[in-house]
């Protein structure tokens, strides 16, 4: 079965700093999803990547899927307190394409 490892597990940064969260898969990724979750709330869809080398951006968040399609990174530029939360990567596949397997999450704290 596919496993996703996120690093770091937690991250504390000062407002305005850049940061990167990594997601490494034990198998080839056929669809990689990034979500953000605030404590006690649902998941907010950020981006989905499919093709090796693909890169997508939304506001100050950029996600990339490496050429070999086994690792993805999420980069936040000039972080703000509103970026704080839990970032989850999810991979499609397994018993069905609709099944998403998630990493354990990265807890991001941004100090003003």
Q: Which residues bind other proteins (CB under 8 A)?
A: 31, 33, 35, 40-45, 48, 50, 88, 90, 92, 94-105
Least separation, in Å, of the C-beta of 67 and other proteins? Answer: 19
* Residue 24: burial class (beta carbons within 10 Å; 0-12, 13-18, 19+): middle
Least separation, in Å, of the C-beta of 1 and other proteins? Answer: 10
Between 76 and 100, whose beta carbon lies closer to other proteins?
A: 100
Least separation, in Å, of the C-beta of 65 and other proteins? Answer: 14
* Residue 74: burial class (beta carbons within 10 Å; 0-12, 13-18, 19+): buried
Between 45 and 111, whose beta carbon lies closer to other proteins?
A: 45
Instruction: Mark residue 30 as left, alpha or beta (left: phi above 0; alpha: psi -120 to 50; beta: remaining).
Output: alpha
Between 58 and 99, whose beta carbon lies closer to other proteins?
A: 99
Between 12 and 97, whose beta carbon lies closer to other proteins?
A: 97
Which phi and psi angles does 81 have, rounded to 5°? Answer: -55, -30
Contact between 80 and 110 (Cβ < 8 Å): yes
């Amino acid at each position: 079965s596919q496993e996703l490892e996120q690093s770091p597990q937690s991250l504390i940064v000062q407002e305005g700093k850049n940061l990167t969260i990594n997601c490494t898969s034990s198998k080839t990724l056929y669809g990689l999803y990034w979500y953000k979750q605030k404590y006690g709330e649902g998941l907010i869809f950020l981006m989905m990547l499919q093709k090796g080398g693909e890169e997508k951006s939304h506001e100050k968040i950029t996600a990339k899927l490496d050429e070999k399609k086994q690792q993805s990174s999420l980069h936040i530029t000039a972080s703000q307190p509103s970026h704080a939360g839990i970032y989850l990567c999810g991979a499609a596949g397994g018993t069905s394409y609709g099944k998403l397997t998630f990493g354990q999450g990265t807890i991001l704290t941004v100090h003003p």
